[in-house]
Amino acid sequence: MKKLITVVLAAMAVALPSSAQLLWKISGKDMPESYLLGTYHLADYAAVDSLTGVSAVMERVSGVIGEIDFMKATLVEGQQTMAAAALAPADSTLSVVLSQIQLDSLQMTLDKYAGGIKVGQLDAMRPAFAAMMIEVGRAAEFTDGFSSPVDMTIQTMALERDKTVTGLETIEDQCQALFGGDIVAQAESLVWGMNHDQEMRSTSRRIFDAYIHGDLNEILSIIEEDKSMDQAHTERLIHLRNADWLRVLAGMLPAASLLIVVGAGHLPGEKGLIKGLRKLGFEVTPND
């Protein structure tokens, strides 16, 4: 399961202490300053609100750009798109790709992390969807809940202040990154995670602690040292999306002051957004 979940967790970060380097300033010649914020998608907005500078930054920028436009995602059309993307082909449902023993194990795992949802309720879904539900439950052990999800809340605040809100990618793009790929490989990852639950919990905690301290290097290390990770999935979920986002930002940043809000796992590394923006000629520094 590391193949999916380590990357999913690493693509999300928690913004907490003011000393955490999860908020970055983007500047350049003859351009307005913009900001890059790494988030933990499951964190409540109150966690981000404690990060020094976020409130002031919101007042300075003219718009917010997230991974997707969450306002569109909450519309009926957006929800239908996400639901359709999570559906497995008719010949590859969970009861087809998993053995009875594996289905029994999945039920026990769902009982532990997903409020007792029955396997039958998820049978038509892709294994990656079931895996994500389980990881949300694991992450709940380290978070205070997410009644006001940080990414959506920031976009709502921006709209209330008459600022623009847009996404770096479409809902379809994000669904492909999360749920696309080979069904058999997804099933293998799901089974691996169920069989190594304690290791996955430890990894979740390690990543959470790294985020609390704003340690992007540690986040990157967790990704890179995981030898069992499916590199194709890493490319699809993080690296290819970063490359696409950089092309979008290259055209937007010179003309507008933006608060860019993405999962913090997208920030570090040679293919991360921080170095990518620097390669484009922007100055990227920790926000004081």
Q: State the virtual CA torsion across 143, 147, 151, 154 in degrees, nearest 10.
A: -120
Choose from 3-7, 112-116, 189-193 the range with maximum mean pLDDT. Answer: 189-193
Q: Is the pLDDT of residue 245 over 90?
A: yes
104 phi and psi angles, rounded to 5 deg: -65, -40
Every domain of the chain and the residues it spans: 2-286
pTM of the complete model: 0.89
Chain Cα centroid distance, residue 191: 22
Q: For 154-171, what is the mean pLDDT? A: 95
pLDDT per residue as tens digits for the range 7-60: 554 555 443 444 458 899 999 988 999 999 998 777 766 666 665 467 789 899
Q: What average pLDDT is seen over the chain?
A: 86
Q: CA-to-CA distance for 107 and 109, rounded, in angstroms?
A: 5
Q: CA-to-CA distance for 110 and 133, rounded, in angstroms?
A: 8
Q: CA-to-CA distance for 41 and 27, rounded, in angstroms?
A: 26
12 versus 165: which is more confidently predicted?
A: 165
Determine contact, residues 183/87, Cβ cutoff 8 Å.
Answer: no
The pLDDT of residue 97 is 98
Estimate the crossing angle of helix 100-113 against helix 127-139, to 10 degrees.
30
pLDDT band of residue 177 (cuts 50, 70, 90) is very high
Q: Which of 13, 178, 163, 189 is nearest to 84 (CA)?
A: 178
Q: For 75-90, what is the mean pLDDT? A: 90
Tell me the one-letter amino acid at 123: D
